[in-house]
Amino acid sequence: MNPPSRSSNRPSERRPERQVDHRDGRRPGNRTNRRPIDPVERLMRIERRKARSRAIFLSVLVLFIMLVMAVLILVVMRKTKPNPQFLFIQKGKLTHFAQGNALILRDDSVAEAPASGQVKPLVTEGMRVSRGQKLALVIPTGLERQLDELDKCEQDIVDLQLELMNQGKGSGARAIYNESAVALSSIVNLVRGDVMNQTLRNLPAYQAAMTVIMEQRSGKLAAVDFHDARLDQLLLQKQSLEQSLGLSSGTLVSSQPGIVSFHLDGLEDTLGSAVVETLTYQDYRAALEQAQTFQTAAREVGSGEPVLRVTSSLEHFLAFYLDGVQPADLPEDRRYSVAVPSEGIEITNCRLVRVEPQDQGSFAIFRSDRRVEWFSDRRSFNAELAVSETEGMRIPRVSLIDFEPSGRTASILMVTGGYTRLVPVEIVDYDREYAIIDASPESGEEDLKPSLSSVIVANPESIGEGEFIGG
């Protein structure tokens, strides 16, 4: 037998058929037959991958920045949030004012020029003088040369005294100069205030006051011995010129003690204390209009013209028209206060003399012996009259919560037991800054009723109700 062939003894083997790519007829795996990739498409793919990477990075970066900003905002809000402020309820007073124009009634005596000429004041504005005291000189026309010589002589004396004082001569001269410097600086401050208020009507009075201060300084320095022959000669020359001018000039002498003023308004004879009971509202309005045109006595006056006035009253009367105030709101047994906000002063102890209804308000006249010298240079001023006062538990108005002016109700944050509690209160009275409160019947528990020395939160927006602040 023939041995079986090797091939016949092996199982038949089938070679795997190669797969054909039906798209282009090329077999896979044959690199030589693979279609090459377009370089432009490859670059576009790369750019798309880069764009996706950049978008993801920017998105993450924006989210991170937003997170950081939120954290910073929270930190800033916590730091800028105001801390709660606490205060004790204290007893206080609320005063309500009514605005009006005050017309001053007082007794004045007017000094008139005995002849025509130049006025040379010898006293300052608002100075108290005694009876028989020399107030001013009226130098007749034609003596201008002697007056110029006197002015030059006085200036030479001042210059020489300063020179000697700087050399250490004249014991006590420095103290006299310092005293006059203080008085002059106060007048300079008044001038600055008037300039800021855009008014120059008081400059002549300020000039006269400064002249008198320097003349008073010269009189005091005349008693100081500087041990200088030149100064002694100038003093003798000045005395001679003053005697020459005094003999031929008119001297104004005070006929009664009082307060001197160089401000005139022509109402000195008609607005005295005698018209307090007869002054009408129409007279009051007319006098206010005329009082706005008052003038300071000029340097040049004619014979018989008014030069100055002396107020002999120890008290003055203040006439007001108070809009919205009824006579029943002004009891006679009260003592009133008149505030002058523009000057920061107050006239206290004012007593009501008479009051009558007028239009929608009241026409009233008050009497006071305070600040007579302060207002001696004017006839009227803007003021506020204290009409009513309320006393009680006073707190700042900003500490009120849900304030209802119509119902006079509100709430406060009061500290009790270490916690903040919302407590209803009644508003007895209030103004722009403060309020007078009282316990409300709705408070309930006794420890929730406010009283003097109770602790409240002054700025309730900084803390909430029920928060613990400590025992």
Q: pLDDT band at residue 11, thresholds of 50, 70 and 90? A: very low
pLDDT confidence of residue 25 = 46
**What's the token pair of residue 151?**
């002015």
Residue 32, pLDDT above cutoff 60: no
Distance CA 402, CA 412 (A): 9
Give 455: exposed, middle or buried? Use CB within 10 Å, 0-12, 13-18, 19+. Answer: middle
Per-residue H/E/C for 9-33: HCCCCCCCCCCCCCCCCCCCCCHHH
How does DSSP assign 164-195, residue by residue?
HHHTT-STTHHHHHHHHHHHHHHHHHHHHHHH
- Which residue, 381, 386, 376, 138, is CA-closest to 268? 376
Q: Regarding predicted confidence, which is higher, 258 or 151?
A: 258
Q: pLDDT band at residue 296, thresholds of 50, 70 and 90? A: low
- Amino acid (1-letter code) at residue 111: A
How much is the average pLDDT of 216-231? Answer: 81
Q: Are 306 and 297 in contact (CB under 8 A)?
A: yes
Q: Are 465 and 421 in contact (CB under 8 A)?
A: yes
pLDDT confidence of residue 81 = 66
- Amino acid (1-letter code) at residue 282: Q
Residue range 86-94+393-462 forms a domain whose CATH class is mainly beta
**What's the token pair of residue 282?**
């129409």
CA 468 vs. chain centroid, Å, equals: 40
Residue 220, pLDDT above cutoff 60: yes
- Among 117-126, 377-386, 412-421, where is mean pLDDT lowest? 117-126
pLDDT, tens digit (0-9, with 9 covering 90-100), for 341-385: 888 889 999 999 999 999 889 999 999 999 888 888 889 999 999
How much is the average pLDDT of 449-457? Answer: 90
**What's the token pair of residue 127?**
């100075």
Q: pLDDT band at residue 449, thresholds of 50, 70 and 90? A: confident
Give the start-to-end residue ranges of the domains of the chain.
Answer: 86-94+393-462, 97-103+268-298+312-389, 109-259
Provide the terminal-to-terminal Cα distance of the chain, rounded to the nearest Å.
122
Distance CA 155, CA 167 (A): 19
Q: pLDDT band at residue 6, thresholds of 50, 70 and 90? A: very low
pLDDT, tens digit (0-9, with 9 covering 90-100), for 280-295: 999 999 999 887 665 5
- Among 240-249, 281-290, 377-386, 421-430, where is mean pLDDT lowest? 240-249
Cα separation values, 94 from 330, 366, 393, Å: 17, 22, 10
Q: Are 111 and 258 in contact (CB under 8 A)?
A: no
Residue 318, pLDDT above cutoff 90: yes
- Mean pLDDT computed over every residue of the chain: 83
Secondary structure letter of residue 239 according to DSSP: H
Distance CA 145, CA 151 (A): 10
pLDDT confidence of residue 89 = 93
Distance CA 379, CA 165 (A): 44
pLDDT, tens digit (0-9, with 9 covering 90-100), for 160-181: 888 888 888 877 888 888 888 8
Q: pLDDT band at residue 7, thresholds of 50, 70 and 90? A: very low
pLDDT confidence of residue 12 = 47
How much is the average pLDDT of 265-282? Answer: 91
Residue 51, pLDDT above cutoff 90: no
For strand 263-264 and strand 295-296, is the pairing parallel, antiparallel, or unpaired? antiparallel
Tell me the longest C-alpha to C-alpha distance in the chain.
189
- Which residue, 340, 329, 263, 251, is CA-closest to 298? 263
Q: Are 355 and 411 in contact (CB under 8 A)?
A: no
Q: Regarding predicted confidence, which is higher, 30 or 93?
A: 93
